[in-house]
Amino acid sequence: MGKGQPRGLNAARKLANTRRENRWADLHYKKRLLGTAYKSSPFGGASHAKGIVLEKVGVEAKQPNSAIRKCVKVQLIKNGKKVAAFGG
């Protein structure tokens, strides 16, 4: 049975290759390298975005609550995508 990682003076390439392959299991590493935050999310990787309110809507809360949350449909200025947002 092996003892985990290879050891020795000539093991550097093997260690580097396995580390490179296994890093793809890390979600943050994968997102950063593939750039999916910029491609798929409506905010384009930003934390905030400006938009135009299209309509006010009431969103029903999940069980066991019966509340109606005040919500607005917003069209983002930077890319024209429509998203729902909770009003403050």
This prediction has a pTM of: 0.62
Q: Of all residues in the chain, what percent carry a pLDDT higher than 70?
A: 98
Provide φ and ψ at 54, rounded to 5°: -95, -45
Same domain as 52, residue 23? no
How far from the centroid of its chain's Cα atoms is residue 76's Cα? 18
Domain that residue 79 falls in:
45-88
Q: Which two tokens stand for residue 82?
A: 């429509």
* 88 confidence band (pLDDT: 50, 70, 90): low
For the stretch 18-30, pLDDT in tens is 999 999 999 999 9
Looking at the fold, whether 53 and 25 belong to one and the same domain comes out as no
51 in the same domain as 68:
yes
Query: Are 85 and 72 spatial neighbours (Cβ–Cβ below 8 Å)?
Result: yes
- Number of folded domains that form the chain: 2
* Residue 74 contacts residue 84 (beta carbons within 8 Å): yes
Question: Is residue 33 a part of any domain in this protein?
Answer: yes
Burial class (CB in 10 A: 0-12, 13-18, 19+), 63: exposed
The model's confidence at residue 3, banded by pLDDT at 50, 70 and 90, is: confident
In tens, the pLDDT along 41-73 reads: 899 888 999 999 999 999 898 989 889 999 999
CATH number at residue 88: 2.40.50.140
**Shared domain check, 86 and 63:** yes
pLDDT of residue 36 exceeding 90, the answer is no
Q: List residues bridging with 72 in a β-sheet.
A: 56, 85
Do 53 and 68 have their domain in common?
A: yes
Beta strands in the chain, from DSSP E residues, in sequence order: 51-60, 68-76, 82-86
